[in-house]
Amino acid sequence: MVAAAAFLYLSPQLPSAESYRNVQLETPLRILTADSKLIDEIGIRRDPVPYEEIPPMMINAVIASEDPRFYSHPGVDILGLMRGFYGFVRGINLGGGSTITMQLANNISFDSDNVYSRKLKEIPFALRIQRELTKQEIITLYLNLIYFGSGADGINAAAFAYYGKPIAELELHQFAMLTSVLPCPSPCNPIADPARATTRRNVVLTKMYDLRMITREEYEKAVSTPDNARRHSRRIEVSAPYVAEMVRQELYLQYGEDIYRKGFEVTTSIHSDKQMVANRALTNGLEEYYDKRHGYRGTEGFIAPMGDDPLPAWLEALEPHAVIGNQHPAVVTYVGDREIKALLKDGSIIDIGWEGLSWAAPFVDRGNAWPRPQQAREIVKTGDLIRVKQMQDSNWSLGQIPELQGALVSVSPDNGDILALIGGYDFGYSQVNRATTPRPPGSGFKPFLYGTALENGYTAASTINDAPFVRGDYRPRNFENNFAGPITLRYALTNSRNVPAVRLYDQLGSERLFPFAKRFGFHTENFPPNDLTIALGSQDVQPLEMAIAFATIANGGQKVEPTLIKQIKTFDGIIPRPPQPVACSKDCRAMTEQAGEQIVASAAQAPGPQTVPAPQVVDPRIAYILGSMMRSVIEEGSGRRVGREIDRKDLMGKTGTTNGPSELWFTGFNRDVSTSVFIGFDQPQMMGESEQGATVPVPIWIDYMKTVLAGTPERMMDRPDGLVDRLIDKQSGRSARPGQANTMFEVFMEENAPSATQERQQPGITRNTTDTTSDTTRDARDTDEAPTIEILF
């Protein structure tokens, strides 16, 4: 009667049959590349397997250890409960009384109850489960839900966590080991305490033998087999942690905690091959193109050799030091004249010759590293804790973790897809995503100033005076500290002349520049309107914004949006995504009406999410002329190294260097790929007077683009109608005669092209200003009395 009353009282508090019959196994957020390679899993690891795929020996191990009468009791083992209660009263351990079904009941519900209430409810709930589910269903659900430690829920996840294999590929001794961790998964697992875990494993094997589940031979072999469990990371196929975090943050804002348990699987726009190239390009570039050139900052510590064999102590000292980027922790074990030996965390000894040591002149400051070492003992000593890097030729080199940081982001001009993104040297070292962190772009912003000029009647052949310019206390200067007189806009952009850019901005005004730049995705509403340094890129923008803005130029002026998430799937199916804007080129298919919207499908785009035409934000002729001007940067300007190292005619771009310099940039593109590289310290500081956009970001950009474009045909920007070519004098921009020296063919919009009988006039732009003195007169008047200040360039 007491039992019946208790059951009637507790029954309404028990979960409904549907809640456990159709229980949904929590599945972590999975993030994939466009070609379905795993970037990351976020959440509890679980990889459910059906009953048919669970090895019988694994089931036997669990039953022997947890519930020997599993197949005979009705969900509750009265004898087991009585034995457990008797042991509790006597203060001795006679084993627990919970059956597998009761443990399953506990896992499915009652998380918020106290331990006594939970135990009372387990019994009637287990009886109900037993009536509703078969033994096969119970054991399958149990093995897929139970926690095995090391962040693994379920047997398949546990098999990967400890052994790096699916459950079907494990052996008897491993089944027993997994079973042994169930009573205390965190402290008893073979990674946390191998000796204790082995003892517990052997207890499980003994129980299996006593129940005649295994033979004597199988028992002895399993007991004598050393366990090989070790920590296995998630099966990451493509390293893109900054991408994974961007996806996680976006999804969390929309769906909250559900993203970690409801089977969210996200396909991104990331191309796995491009992402791996980007990882290498940025990581190696920060080390080789900047950090090593500025000297060796010294070792990370010293571990004095103790006793006759110091290796064990050194290995123990290395354990807490992680690999960061390319840099492996190591301890110097021997120092010769021009070579050293070092111990790695895995116990191996490596040799480093002089070619891997000779770079390590002592760091003095950002501009100095001296004197050059002549012998290895001037650099390190035995017992020093150092960093080492394996080079492409498999030889090892002395290294160090760069203090400098950077970002590389690559997008498609066709639709804004983010093809590759890396936001720093090492995500584990610093989670700040510099690809989405605004910093001043320097001269990388100038193309949008010159685009504004083209939209307001200027041409690439229009001239601007490269002469002293003063506004109050502000006097801009050129990088070379000289002046060139009247020069064309093409020449000014190609050679990144600062004074002409400021003068041009002064003529155009923020009321023309800001709306133009905003159409390309820049947040000009945050720009101060009366700051002339805006012409030189003094306002913060993101590398991602730069890549998209240049992609908009590449596709002929159609504004695409940065797109990272292409598809989201859950247990309930595919979640619809907003239509993606795509650039409509000459091979676009006809517009079709769908759901009241105009939807365009590019002939080159595979079936997938809906797309809409990208808005035309600038005359395609202006975009084409800007592209041709930035081609001159590659052929004759600060991007000449690109032209020397990549033999293609379809590359365009612009460097950027800020005052100090504190930031270095290069953003470049062809019709298929737009890539921006940013370099700088997280806390802005001078990088060294010799540094500029051409010294660090350009070679990183080359390392990336040279690989991703290898084997692809050259793809120029589409030339729109309404453009004409005219022969002009390169210096004056005036029409030239055939055979005249120093000439070039310049491209013009038809309405602005010079005729054979009429010279072009400079565009007249009237601006309201309190100073009506002409530029020339004003400059002559103010040159000697205005102070010189540092500016961005």
Contact 613, 581 (CB under 8 A): yes
122 labelled catalytic = no
Q: Which of 285, 328, 325, 276 shows the shortest CA–CA distance to 426?
A: 325
SS3 793: coil
Burial track 389-425 (b if 16+ CB lie within 10 A, e otherwise): beeeeeebbbbbbbebbbbbbbbbbbbbbbbbbbbbb
Is 504 in contact with 513 (CB distance < 8 Å)?
Answer: no
Q: Of the listed 41, 65, 66, 410, which one is catalytic?
A: 66
Nearest to 261 by CA among 521, 515, 45: 45
Report CA torsion sign: 206, 212, 213, 215.
Answer: positive
Catalytic residue, candidates 109, 397, 443, 676: 443
- Alpha-carbon torsion 762, 768, 773, 776, what sign? negative
Q: Give yes or no: 443 in active site.
A: yes
Query: Among 169, 163, 144, 164, which residue's Cα sits nearest to residue 154?
Result: 144
DSSP bridge pairs for 656: 665
302 Rama sector, left if φ>0, alpha if ψ -120 to 50, beta otherwise: beta
Dihedral (CA of 463, 466, 470, 474) sign: positive
- How far is 43 from 30, CA to CA, in rounded Å? 9
Measured CA angle at 53 (ends 48, 55), to 5 deg: 110
Where does 447-531 show beta strands of DSSP type E?
463-466, 485-488
Cα 451 from chain centroid (whole Å): 31
CA distances from 309 to 312, 314, 333, 393 (A): 7, 10, 11, 32
Tell me how crowded residue 5 is: count the other CB atoms within 10 A of its CB: 9
| φ, ψ at 727 (rounded to 5°) | -80, 125
**8 A C-beta contact, residue 284 and residue 703:** yes
Known catalytic residues are 66, 443
